[in-house]
């Protein structure tokens, strides 16, 4: 091969790598956009203006707003798992119910409405600021993931082998 042929191959390879990188970044941006939190003012509810950013939600807004207060609270919104319900038993709806002043936080006084929740309040208030909010729930969720990983990593090498993963998955499904 001569020098010009090698140069052309190198340029084509660089262009191909750049295109692949751009496609990967576009996929990451799309995934991030899919996880956008429509509650821009973090008041625990989505008003009509906030819903406008998500056309599918905006189209269903009136049907979802059961109490016709112009806001969608956690118990009115369609949920897809996680802290708001779905396969985890409606934890978000329970949280929203305890959050009587709708500030996105559950104080010790509000927690008193549910004896089991009140009993766990100190453990759930990770940053010890006297309220349980999104930050506490996210930190606690991370702790749970780390605990599950540590329990699954039986040889303690910091990696899950297929056998470790399948054993942990089997234990999880057979509780």
Place of tokens 């010790």: 108
Q: What is the pLDDT of residue 122?
A: 93
Q: Among 98, 102, 94, which Cα is nearest to 41's? A: 102
42-83 pLDDT, tens digit per residue, is: 788 888 898 888 888 888 888 888 888 988 887 787 664 434
85-95 pLDDT, tens digit per residue, is: 443 345 577 78
CATH code for the domain defined by 81-175 = 1.10.238
As a whole number, mean pLDDT of residues 140-152 equals 91
Q: What is the pTM of this model?
A: 0.44
Name 154's Cβ contacts closer than 8 Å, sequence gap at least 6: 164, 167
Q: What residue ranges do the domains of the chain occupy?
A: 1-35, 39-78, 81-175
Neighbours of 83 (CB within 10 A): 20
112-135 pLDDT, tens digit per residue, is: 999 998 999 999 999 999 999 989
Q: Packing angle between helix 162-173 and helix 134-152, nearest 10 degrees?
A: 120
CA distances from 30 to 9, 23, 39, 98, 112 (A): 32, 10, 19, 34, 41
Q: pLDDT class for 163, splitting at 50, 70, 90?
A: very high
Greatest mean pLDDT among 8-12, 17-21, 155-159: 155-159
């Amino acid at each position: 091969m001569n020098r010009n042929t090698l140069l052309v191959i190198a340029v084509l390879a660089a262009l191909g790598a750049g295109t692949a990188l751009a496609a990967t970044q576009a996929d990451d941006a799309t995934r991030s956009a899919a996880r956008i939190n429509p509650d821009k003012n973090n008041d625990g509810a989505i008003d009509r203006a906030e819903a406008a950013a998500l056309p599918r939600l905006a189209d269903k807004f009136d049907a979802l707003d059961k109490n016709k207060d112009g806001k969608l609270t956690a118990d009115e919104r369609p949920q897809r798992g996680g802290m708001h319900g779905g396969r985890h038993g409606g934890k978000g709806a329970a949280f929203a119910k305890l959050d009587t002043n709708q500030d996105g936080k559950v104080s010790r006084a509000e927690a008193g409405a549910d004896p089991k929740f009140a009993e766990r309040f100190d453990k759930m208030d990770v940053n010890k600021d006297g309220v349980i909010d999104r930050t506490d729930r996210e930190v606690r969720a991370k702790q749970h993931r780390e605990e599950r990983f540590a329990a699954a990593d039986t040889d303690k090498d910091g990696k899950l082998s297929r056998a470790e993963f399948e054993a942990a998955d089997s234990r999880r499904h057979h509780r």
